[in-house]
Structure 1
Amino acid sequence: MAGKPLVNVDIVSDVMCPWCWIGKKKLEAGIKQLEGKFQFRVRWLPYLLRPQIPPEGLPIPPGYRNPARLAQMIQAGEEVGIKFSFSNTSFPNTLKAHALLELADSKDDGAKQNDVAERLFKAYFTDGKMLTEEDVVQVGQEAGFDPEEVRSFITDQEKLDAILQSALERSSKGVEGVPFFYFNGQRMFSGAQNEDVFTRMLTIAAERFPVAQLSKA
């Protein structure tokens, strides 16, 4: 990988957002097209779509899941290899899930963070997990982390408060919807764009905004 230009990809996301998972898959397809030219560092940043959800979750209101909208998301998921079950009857509180992502980011230069994000999306959207403390500990253990370290980290109130504050500050930085992407520290776009959009914008970031270190979006 030496000698290849670096592209830092920062993704502002919430693991209860189906389009964030779809966007992840499309990003990865774009990256795959460019692996011969560039090297990539993907980092997940916290956002809370519903910051007032209590720890036990919040029942999804009747009629919230529009059948046509669900069908659109299911089809979009299938096109990138995602199986949405939409079996949950409640919105989850995702703060502990974000804490696990932060823990993963702090280990080995974040080598496992993208895998953890994938596992969290699958746990909620495919397996119907509510991302409770036990669910998040299990995801962390399956990703190769010590379960007691995970539990200690995701229940540390100071860490949770800091993650909450960071997530809330995203709105003040102009993030109004997720997924939101920064490439090499540059604001790019939001939404699960097509693969060719990712390929083009990743290339622009590498060539016009070269970096030597991780961006701090």
Structure 2
Amino acid sequence: MTEPITLYISNYCGQAKRVEKFLLEQNVAVNIVNIDNNPEGREVVKSINQGNASVPTLVFPDGSTLTEPSLTELKSKLASFHQREAPYWPHSFGGWIDWLLPFMLIVLVFGADRLSKQWALQFLAENGPTVLNPWLTILEAYNRGVAFGWFQGVGPLVGWLTIGVVLFMLIVLVQTSRQERLLRYGLAFIIGGALGNQVDRLVAQQVLDFMQLPIWNGALNVADIAINMGMALMIASMIPAIFDRVKG
């Protein structure tokens, strides 16, 4: 696709700014028209959208259009034109550090989970269940399922399910833009925690939970905390797009 895409934007639309940023990051040739100061552009947008000045609106070289697309929809559209997407690999030392940080976080979470479980087993062997303070009790409990006690007693299925989810999340992590930090760190927390618990399943066919908190129903471990933090970060990463959709 040698001709540029025409992108109609407005100063007051965050989604339009995100689409503009995405296209520039992907090295896509784009002609940007701000309808706030371009009456002709506004009329073009209205003619495309049944009288509504909806942005972002994109017009492609073949005359096809997209209005308020998600980034997934836009990627699919670009692929249909064989548009070369920018590589996921960074081109500078700082870029590599930024790209590698989530993978370092995976290792950190995994290591923290394994070391904490070793410490807990040694502590419990010497002291038994102990109330350390009003907020934390150390005890020995085992979970044969996944988080919140789901899938208890289903055996190897949990392990295979975990492996599949981790592989999928790794693929998503590699392909996610470095600018989407909340999503990338959320994935890293979940992957690190899932791998930590998976080692327990492979070695002992059950997961050690050794912490009890007054704000949590049941026992948990460092991996569980990381997984929940990751889920919270992933949800937080979706909030801007949801607000943009609501605002229109």
Q: Tell me if both proteins adopt one fold, taking TM over 0.5 as the criterion.
A: no
Q: Which has the larger radius of gyration?
A: 2
Q: Under a length normalisation based on structure 2, what TM-score does the superposition of the two structures give?
A: 0.28
Higher relative contact order (CA 8 A, sep 6+): 1
* Structure with higher helix content: 2
